[in-house]
Amino acid sequence: MTVERKKTITKDILNGALLDSFKKLNPWVMIKNPVMFVVEIGTVITLLLSIAPELFGSTNVGRGYNIAVFLILLFTLLFANFAEALAEGRGKAQADSLRKTKSDTKARLVQKDGTYKEVSSTSLRKGDIVRIEIGEIIPSDGEIIEGLASIDESAITGESAPVIKEAGGDFSSVTGGTRVASDYIVVKIMTDPGESFLDRMIALVEGAKRQKTPNEIALTTLLAVLTLIFLIVIMTMVPMAQYLNVKLEISTLIALLVCLIPTTIGGLLSAIGIAGMDRVTQFNVLAMSGKAVEAAGDIDTMILDKTGTITFGNRMASEFIPVSGTQAKEMTFVALQASVKDETPEGRSIVELANKLGESWQAANYIGSEVVEFSAETRMSGLDLEGGTKVRKGAVDAIRKYVEALGGKIPHDLETISNRIAKAGGTPLAVAMGDRIYGVIYLKDTVKPGLKERFAELRAMGIKTVMCTGDNPLTAATIALEAGVDEFIAEAKPEDKIAAIKKEQQEGKLVAMTGDGTNDAPALAQADVGLAMNSGTMAAKEAANMIDLDSDPTKLLSVISIGKQLLITRGALTTFSIANDIAKYFAIIPAMFILAMPQLQALNIMNLASPESAILSALIFNAIIIPLLIPIAMRGVKYRAMSADRLLSRNILIYGIGGVIVPFIGIKVIDMVLHGLNIV
């Protein structure tokens, strides 16, 4: 299913983010971000310097300079808060949309004596049994224990076509907020109020329960350490300046500290994480944690089921093979006649293949014909034409017995053809008209289009793909070659999937897999990233750390790309932020000491107008670069399928070297504007 990307930034979200930018100035909120908390302390000090400079012994610079530093620092804080608030606002808007789906509906609770009691959906508890009729809303997540119905899941997935759910098997799970479109079902409630998948998704996209991932914690620790190091450096500069008889103003020291600590990534770090989670939810994937999304970005091996994931799961006509003594055109025409009234996927595929081969049919020619439906007893289907001619297709042994009963001869190569098809993993269907067998239809499970290219992309990323199937090795090899997977496991049982996952993990690799059945639950739990289908069983969904609301097994490919994009975005902006410090160093350090040490003029390679202009220019650039990078933080750095080494080299080239060059240009332009306006 193709997910339509909706407009995510609205006027209401922007207005809300502007207001939240000021609310987040609360020190108890800012202290969670050590880098920006240091900036806030510096902002408060420069505010006091602007009001009463004599309190700090600051008399060498004008009040206007201190006010300018204060305002720039304030806007630096507001821009950083705005980035985080904008990401949170987008999540809240999506949560509001989901909350409209979640309503307090009435439920028909089944009592112990078999009677029904109408109750509110919010009063339902795990283990309760409810009956839902056609047109009614499913009150909470659960599993069907009786009945079969088509379920309209458009409110959750956006897909208009209803899906069939029934008791037992892998398609018994239903989601609260969806609607029964036909028949009725009896559902056992599997969650308590506030614990449904929809509730968890709302909490996730709002960011209310979003915990920092291990990578975020590690990066936050690194930024805090860098901030502490630069703070010590600034403190040691004071006695050095006194030794050189240089008077360093407190506001200048604060400006230097703010410019040298990684404020850019410090201001954008939280927004990157929230926006990354938001991109996952836009693809209708419910991630139980940010850790799962990041783990997807580090995946080394992906294990996929064959049926329904790599292949369509429906047998499709691939070839018409005539027996000896029969022309290919004759065989094609008889196969077409046997299938013109067959509405099964196999029957429609036979008609489609015959049309491609140049055969056609007119409905008017078959008005008086009688359809013979397939049955387990006869294992045949077909058409009784006007005039008494009977056309049949079915299992080879069934057609053989049928023809023999009519006194017909069995072609000597029939068994050879059918055995060849079976060994290749296909299904042979013999075709007969009257007492003569014309040939065999080769049915095979068709690989989904485009998968080979997507697996090639994964290979370029360094991700190995492994196909698991219950088919024999010959069939598995044929499908694996056609699909383009790296390896396959034939005649696989549930325990074989777990063994395959453990083997990869023992080699230090991260493993992802998809599944929808109860027998997939152990493997989903064992995998580092387990993507369960929303149409699957509750056991599978509880074991996985991601749930695809569209029930599209190939969605894991997109999730991996999103996870990698999240990691790359964070790494790219961190590289850019740290690289920025080089240019700021060349702007501020010479400006601070150039009067006492004229030799430092050699470091003033940007030829900035004055010390004050240099400091303010670097500080202004440090502030405005944050909002300029917000679109990248929200949208993510464009991900391209390539090896980790090439990806690292590319990002260093763009965001490392770019992070050095851009500030030189930006600071110089700002300096020229300030000098031209005679502001400093």
Q: What is the pLDDT of residues 454-486, one digit of tens each?
A: 888 888 878 899 988 777 787 788 888 888 899
Cα separations in angstroms, 510 against 196, 287, 299, 501, 677: 28, 17, 5, 9, 57
pLDDT of 641 > 80? The answer is: no
User: Domain 125-192 adopts which CATH fold?
Assistant: 2.70.150
The residue with greater pLDDT, 199 or 325, is 325
Q: 431 pLDDT exceeds 90? A: yes
pLDDT of residue 282: 74
Q: Which residue has the tokens 């240019």?
A: 583
Burial class (CB in 10 A: 0-12, 13-18, 19+), 398: middle
646 is in an annotated binding site: no
According to DSSP, residue 653 is labeled I
Asked if 86 contacts 95 with a C-beta cutoff of 8 angstroms, the reply is no
Q: Which residue has the tokens 């920006």?
A: 36
Cα→Cα distances 455→71, 299, 560, Å: 52, 14, 12
> Mean pLDDT across the stretch 540-568?
80
Pairing state between β 179-180 and 285-287: unpaired
| pLDDT on residue 54 | 67
How far apart, in whole angstroms, are the C-alpha atoms of residue 197 and residue 206? 14
Measured distance CA(408)–CA(286) in Å, rounded: 60
pLDDT value for 190: 87
What are 501's two structure tokens? 């996952």
- Quick one: CA torsion of 301, 307, 313, 319, rounded to 10 degrees? 80
346 is in an annotated binding site: yes
pLDDT above 90: residue 41: yes
Helix axis angle for 63-101 and 34-51, nearest 10°, is: 140
Q: What is the DSSP letter of 106?
A: E
Q: What is the pLDDT of residue 7?
A: 47
Q: For the residues 388-411, what does the mean pLDDT come to?
A: 90
pLDDT on residue 6: 46
Residue 606 annotated in ligand binding: no
Share the mean pLDDT of the chain. Answer: 81
Contact 547, 532 (CB under 8 A): yes
307: which DSSP letter?
A: B
Q: Is 221 annotated as a binding residue?
A: no
Q: Assign 3-class secondary structure to 235-298.
A: HHHHHHHHHCCCCCCHHHHHHHHHHHCCHHHHHHHHHHHHHHHHHHHHCCEEECCHHHHHHHHC
Give the pLDDT score at 677: 75
Residue 342 assigned ligand-binding role: yes
The two tokens of residue 380 are 């045949």
The 3-state secondary structure of 324-360, one letter per residue: CCCCHHHHHHHHHHHHCCCCCHHHHHHHHHHHHCCCC
The DSSP annotation for 138-186 comes to: P-S-EEEEEEEEEEE-HHHH---S-EEEESSTT--EE-TT-EE-SSEEE
- Residue 393 annotated as part of some ligand binding site: yes
HSE value, Cβ hemisphere, 13 Å, CA-based, for 416? 7
* 374 known ligand binder: yes
Kind of pairing between the strands at 546-548 and 285-287: antiparallel
Among all chains, which residue has been given the structure tokens 């006492």? 596
What is the spatial distance between Cα 315 and Cα 498, in angstroms, rounded to a whole number? 28
Token output for 210: 């979003």
Contact 414, 396 (CB under 8 A): yes
**Rounded percentage of the chain residues whose pLDDT exceeds 70:** 86
Among 531, 422, 440, 528, residue whose Cα is nearest residue 478: 422
Confidence of residue 430 (pLDDT cuts 50, 70, 90): very high
Q: Which residues are catalytic?
A: 305
pLDDT in tens, 264-323: 888 888 888 777 777 777 777 877 767 778 888 888 898 887 766 777 666 788 899 999
User: Which residues fall within 8 angstroms of residue 207, CB to CB, at 6 or more apart?
Assistant: 87, 88, 91, 92, 274, 277
- Report the pLDDT value the prediction gives residue 365, as an integer from 0 to 100: 74
The answer to whether 520 is annotated as binding is yes
Cα 192 to Cα 459: distance, rounded to the nearest angstrom: 42
CATH class of 314-446: alpha beta
Which residues, in sequence order, are CB contacts of 28 under 8 Å at separation 6+? none
The rounded distance, in Å, linking the Cα atoms of 666 and 133 is: 65
Structural domain spans, the chain: 1-103+193-283, 125-192, 295-310+448-556, 314-446
* HEC string for 182-242: CCEEEEEECCCCCCCHHHHHHHHHHCCCCCCCHHHHHHHHHHHHHHHHHHHHHHHHHHHHH
Please state, in angstroms and rounded to a whole number, the distance separating the CA atoms of residues 394 and 375: 10
**Taking the mean position of all CA atoms in its chain, how far away is CA 292?**
10
**pLDDT class for 391, splitting at 50, 70, 90?**
very high
Consult the annotation and say whether 96 binds a ligand.
no
Q: Is 377 annotated as a binding residue?
A: yes
First to last CA, the chain: 59
Cα(383)–Cα(118) distance, integer angstroms: 51
Contacts 24+ apart (CB under 8 A), 214-220: 214/291, 214/294, 215/294, 215/567, 215/570, 216/269, 216/273, 216/290, 216/570, 219/265, 219/269, 219/570, 219/574, 220/33, 220/34, 220/269
- Token pair, residue 46, equals 């420069």
Torsion of CA 335, 337, 343, 344, to 10 degrees: -20
Neighbours of 485 (CB within 10 A): 25
Q: What's the CATH class of domain 295-310+448-556?
A: alpha beta
Look up residue 53 and give its DSSP letter: G
pLDDT of residue 157: 60
Which of 125-129, 168-172, 291-295 is the least confident region?
168-172
Cβ neighbours of 85 (radius 10 Å):
26
Q: Which two three-digit tokens encode residue 455?
A: 């697996």
Alpha-carbon span 382 to 340, nearest angstrom: 9
Task: Tell whether the model's pLDDT for residue 441 goes beyond 90.
Answer: yes
Residue 197 annotated as part of some ligand binding site? no
550 annotated to a ligand binding site: no
Counting Cβ atoms within 10 Å, is residue 442 exposed (0-12), middle (13-18) or buried (19+)?
buried
DSSP-assigned states of every residue in 344-400: SHHHHHHHHHHHHTT----GGGGTT-EEE---TTT-EEEEE-TTS-EEEEEEHHHHH
Check the annotation: does 85 bind a ligand. Answer: no
Q: What is the per-residue pLDDT for 644?
A: 66
